Every structure is written in structure tokens, then in C-alpha cells.
Structure 1
Amino acid sequence: MASTHTRSMWIWNSVAILASSAETDHLLTGAHDAAVTELYLYTAPDCYIPQKSQLQTFISRATTSGLHVWALDGDRAYFADAAGPSTFHRGIESLIAYNAAVAPHERFVGFQADNEPQDHGDYRTFHNDISDSDLSHAPGSGVWQPTQAQDREMLLRSWLTMHEEASQLLHGHSLRFGAAMPWWTEAYEGEELGVSFPPEGAGRRRQSVMKHMMGLVDEYVVMSYYTDPAEAVRRVEAQVAFAEVMAGVGRPRVCAAVEVTPGVGRRVSYGDTEGKDSRAVVLRDVGVIERSLSRFAAFGGVAVHHWAAWRSTPH
């Protein structure tokens, strides 16, 4: 693996990890065995004060082990059609305050967002399985706005706006900002997901939501989940090719990702795919993805979703 490439691991069971030295030992050993360099540690917005000492201990140990720890948060409720982004941004402000109060080796290096707009549960404003061109413009067809087309437009603007504010907060304190992004933004029902952004002003432009988001983040992590590495690579190519032509200073690192969690779906998750459910196979395929995308200077590495599932994956 090239020295400029990273391997990352999402960690959602952070409460158990932070509370147990033994669990931390397992994580650090597993991370090193998989050549992981970045840990995305779920940190709820209200956890920074009550769990401060645990965070200090964990990050110190990880830093000493040569790992970088990112705070991680995300929720469909953070979109404007639900509760809104105030809690999301409050968590980032708490991260900034935490970092200011601890020693350098106890600090997060950045923040990873995992906010996804698609419909699930009670959320119905994205209008799943409908291309942009097939969304209804008829008044009354919308759930949140007057029409289906306006529902999606305003939802995608909300997505960008919350990340724009997060970017300003984090970059104002020299913290890196990353975001997990669906692979299908460039091929949703055969079309890209377009949105006009910013909402107003001379700089407003209508283009893919991916292209707008690229300008806000330092690390663009494509959830390219597929157990055929050639298909996983294909799901990242449009994004990394776009980043490739961006100005060097503002260009994000574009990462691919693999899923190992059981119950997600055959061919999507290694945990559900016969003949693929082993760490050795996953790491072999991660290597294929890395080599295939290393021709792009904007390629950053591969992320694994997620630690609890990885720990249960056979060797």
C-alpha cells in the first residue's frame, strides 16, 4: 500500500470500547493486523463532557500506536425535513471544545459525517427509486414541499448546507472534515442527483450533489460496497476522476469502502457472501481496489465498515 494511502475503520460500538481496556486492546490489535491507519469513532453530540477521561485515554493509546482518531456522527434526523442540523453542529462545537481542553496526543484529528438522505422508516421526502427527471412537478405530489421535485431539491440542499457549516466550523480550528457518501449519486436510476447550490447568489450552480460536496470536505468516502472488487472500483471512478481535476489545494482525498456486516445483502457485504466471509479475502480485495485506483492522485485509500462486524469475521 502506498504511503499516501490510508485504511480506515468505522467504530459504532464506542461505548463498549471506551469502557473497557480489554476491548480497546482488541481494537488496536485488530486495526494493526488489518493495516488500518484511521479510526472513525462514533461520538454522540452529548458524550464529550461525561466521557472526556475515557476519550483521552483511548485517543492517547491509539495515537501512541500510530493511529489517527476521527470523531464520527450522523443521523437522518439531522436533515431539514426532520429535527434539523442543530444537534449535529452542537456535537462539532463540543468536539472543538474537547480538543482545546486536552493534550495534543489526546485530540481528534478530524470529524467524519455519515448523513444519508434516502428514505427509510418514517422519512419519505427523497422519493426512493425515482430518477430526477421522473419526479413529479405536480402541486400536491410532495410530502414536505409542494412537489416531489421540490422535496428532493430541498433535501439535497439541506445535505449540503449542514456540511458547509460543519466545514467552516472544523476548518476554522484546523480540523479535517470527511463525509461518507452513497456511491449512486452519479447513477441514481440512471441519472446523477442534481441540485442548485448555494441556494442563492452569484455562485449558484446546478450540478451533481457529489460535485458540490467535493468542495466542502477533505475526505470523500464513497460507500462503494460490493464484494467484486472490480465493481467496487467502478463505483468510485466517477468521483475520483472528478476530484482529479480539482485544484490541488482544495482537492479532497477520495476513498473507497467495503462492508463486512452480516444482514446487509449478498454481494454487497462480505459477511453475507459465500466464499468471501473471511478477513483474508477482504484484505486481498482491498489490495485489489487500492492497486486499481492508485493511478489517480486523488485516491486516498479504503475504509472498512465496521469494527464490531470485522471482529466477528473469521480469519
Structure 2
Amino acid sequence: MNPVRLATQLALCALLALATNACAQEPATVPAPRAVWTWEGPSYAMLESPAAADEALAFLQRKRVNVVYLYADAFERRNLIEQQPQLYRAFIRRAHVRGIRVYALLGSWYLHTERYVLPRHQRKAVAMLQRVLDYNAAAAPAERFDGVNYDIEPHLLDEWEDATRPRLLLGFLDMTAAMMEARRKSGQTLEIGPAMPFWWDGIALEWRGVRKPVSEHVADLTDYIALMDYRNRAEGRDSILSHAQAEMDYASRIGKRVVIGLEFNPGEPAKLSFHGMPEAAFEREAGKVEDAYRGRPAFAGFVFHHYLGYRRFVGDPVPAAN
């Protein structure tokens, strides 16, 4: 064979081998989104101090947290979203420039919002959402909330007992339906979802003529669920994956999404939280969850409870000045 021709063929074979190998490689996986619940005090501190906001957002970027659930209701006799909406506008602009989305976090121990499931208080739940809707309607696109997460937990009520549990959960569904109706009337498409305990999938209720698990009623009503799946191992019995299975399966069937909520604060029993474990151990367990749900559109990543607890967990506490 002509030496030149042979060299050309060998070069072509080498190029073909390289191309085939490149095509055979799996595409790079995109890490699952990470969010963090940010409660009253830290949220107000970020809103009122540009320096605190920049420091917090830089921390979130370092830890690959790309969604912040920012408290957006009254605290210590002030309600900044009503009284000083420019503070929210400035913070959300800052976050968006860094590629971080901002959800309005509604619900508060300070306001005892667990009572909002009671008929006489449900108008307050609609009013707190309406303030967010009104804010977004008046804000420029770069200053708007990207979504809403509401954390209203009827099981915190003193009257939560086996006998009263169905009534309180029905109140939660009625409250949620009223909030979603307020969104519909506003003409906005802001996505809305609750924080929900994983064990609601074990409670069946009839609501509006349909009997099914409470978790399924909630998924039917809302855009997504932030599932409070507080366990510190991914696999096996009594694990993150086992407790999320029903919600993930149902969300997949109806085209909704589930964010897996994880705990980082001290608590008993120890299985509830990653507190006290190495960060590397947490990342291994989170990686197992991502591997299990890779390619499933219903999986919308993680949300961490909560901003201060997570910062302590990773050994990067909030500076004293903040």
C-alpha cells in the first residue's frame, strides 16, 4: 500500500475512534437545585443590610445553593414587604444577578400561622399571599419573586389529636384552595407550594367528594411540594428515599414536582438531622438521592432547614456583624 495512503487511513481511523469514544461518554450531569429556608431574623437582616445580603449570597454561591426561600411577612411589629418593598426589590435584584432565585417564604412561629388552617383565620393566609402577589404586580421583572413556599403546619396546634386531625387537615386543604384561587384571580403564574411532612401520605381524607391521601390532595392543588423528609440516610427502611417514594410517584403521574427537605439542626432522635455528621457524609447521602432520581422530572432538588443551621453545619457561621 502507498505509504501516504496508509498514513491517511490510519489518521482517519484515529479520528473515528476519538469521535466514537466521545459519543459513548455520558453527558455531564447537572447537580440538582439546592434551596434553603431563611426565616424571619436572617431574612430581615439581609433585607436591611446590603453588606449582609452580599455576604449571604456569596456563601450560597459557594455552597451551590441556587434558591433562597426568603421570609416575606410580618416580624417584630413590622412588615417590610408592605412598608419597605424597595428592600425586597434590591435584594431580589442582587440575587438574580448571581443566578439565585428567590421564593417568598410564608408562615411563622412568631405569628402562630398554624392557626391559619382554622376557618376563622383562613383569610389571614390569603392576605399574606396577596401581599406577595401585589408586590410582584408592582415590581420590575428582575425584582419579582420567582415563587412562593408556605410553611403552615396544623400538627403544631394544641388541639392536634387523633379525633381532631381530619378537621384540621381539611382546613389546610380549604386554606390552600383559597390561596390558589387568589393566585388565579391575580392573573399571575407565580408557582406556589407548601412545606409538607412526608407522613401525610399515610392519612386518607375525603375532600370535595374524593377520598385519597392528604399528600395527593395537596399535590393536586399546588405546583410543587417541599417535602419535609427529615432523615439522615438515603437508602433502606426509614430513609429519605423510602419516605419520598409515594410523593415522587404521584408527582410523576400528575406532572408536579417534589423538593426534598433535609434537616441540619440538632434534634431527637438523631436520625432526623445531619447535625453532628461530617459534611462529606451528607454529600454522599445527597448524591445517592440524586442518583436514584436522575432523569425524573418530578425531582426538583433539595431544600435545607434552615439558613443558620446549615451555615453552622458546614462550619461557616454568619459573621457577628450580620
TM-score interval w.r.t. the shorter chain?
0.7 to 0.9
More helix by share: 2
Query: Residue 173 of structure 1 aligns to which amino acid in structure 2?
Result: Q
Cα deviation per residue 1:112-163 (whole Å; 9 max; x = unaligned)?
111112145xx22x31xxxxxxx5xxxxxxxxxxxx2xx2222111101111
What's 1:160 paired with?
Answer: 173
1:65 is aligned to 2:91: no
Which of the numbers 236, 250, 258 marks the counterpart of 2:244?
236
SS at match of 1:84: helix
1:296/1:161 CA distance change after superposition, 3 Å: same
1:23/1:281 CA distance change after superposition, 3 Å: farther
Cα deviation per residue 1:11-38 (whole Å; 9 max; x = unaligned)?
0021112122222122212211221221
What's 2:50 paired with?
Answer: 21
- Long gaps (5+) in structure 2: 1-27, 108-112, 316-322
SS at match of 1:35: coil
Which of the numbers 166, 180, 183 marks the counterpart of 1:170?
183
- Structure 1 position 108, deviation (Å): 0.4
CA distance in 1, matches of 2:133, 2:271: 39
Verify the 8 A CA contact 1:233 1:256 in the aligned structure 2: no
- Long gaps (5+) in structure 1: 128-134, 136-147, 187-191, 199-203
What's 1:209 paired with?
Answer: 214
SS at match of 1:300: strand
TM-score after normalising by structure 1 = 0.80
What's 1:194 paired with?
Answer: 204
SS at match of 1:215: helix
What's 1:142 paired with?
Answer: none
Query: Residue 100 of structure 1 aligns to which amino acid in structure 2?
Result: A
Query: Residue 258 of structure 1 aligns to which amino acid in structure 2?
Result: L
SS at match of 2:102: strand
CA distance in 1, matches of 2:283, 2:31: 18
Mapping 1:212-223, distance limit 5 Å? 212-223=217-228
CA distance in 1, matches of 2:193, 2:205: 20
What's 1:268 paired with?
Answer: 272
Task: Quote the RMSD (CA, aligned, Å).
Answer: 2.0
What's 1:47 paired with?
Answer: 80
Query: Residue 292 of structure 1 aligns to which amino acid in structure 2?
Result: A
Size of the aligned set, in residue pairs, is 272
What's 1:257 paired with?
Answer: 261
Structure number with bigger Rg? 2
- Structure 1 position 3, deviation (Å): 4.6
Cα deviation per residue 1:188-239 (whole Å; 9 max; x = unaligned)?
xxxx2111112xxxxx111111111111111111111111122111110111
Cα deviation per residue 1:265-306 (whole Å; 9 max; x = unaligned)?
4121122x4xx1x44433332222121222533111111111
CA distance in 2, matches of 1:211, 1:32: 34
Query: Residue 214 of structure 1 aligns to which amino acid in structure 2?
Result: A
Which of the numbers 117, 141, 153 marks the counterpart of 1:79?
117
Verify the 8 A CA contact 2:115 2:154 in the aligned structure 1: no
